[in-house]
Amino acid sequence: MGGMPGDPHPALARQDPPGPPPPPPINTKPMTPPPENPQTDEDKQKVVRYEQWLAHQEQAIQNQLRYYEKEITNLRRQRKVRKQVLLLLFEIFPVFVFVCFVSFLKLCAVVLKPIPNFLPVFFSR
């Protein structure tokens, strides 16, 4: 095959490319709120820092929301495909079993000379 002896078959080795890594966890430690009525420059600076922190938190939450919505969409799509494959297998499998059983009976008829009484019932179909 051209690969190393221990390498798996290319069909088995194929994996979906990894998606983007999840966003970093949100810092849930709350910041101390600024004073209600800022009077000094220091109080005004605290208000500005608090508003920047709030904007950063909102952005981090939006990033996580977008990431997990994509993950949920991908998982739902995978579940739908697997369900379709499973339904297809349920449709095909009984036919496959019947064909294998008939082939087995034919083989038994060739290998074993005394044919059981029920064989003509299966061959008459």
φ, ψ for residue 9, nearest 5 deg: -60, 145
Res. 122: pLDDT tops 60: no
State residue 1's pLDDT score. Answer: 47
- Report pTM: 0.56
How many angstroms separate the CA atoms of 80 and 31, rounded? 43
The one-letter code for the residue type at 42 is E
Q: What is the mean pLDDT of the chain?
A: 80
pLDDT digits (tens, 9 = 90+) for 24-45: 888 778 888 888 888 899 999 9
pLDDT digits (tens, 9 = 90+) for 41-98: 999 999 999 999 999 999 999 999 999 999 999 999 999 999 998 888 888 888 888 8
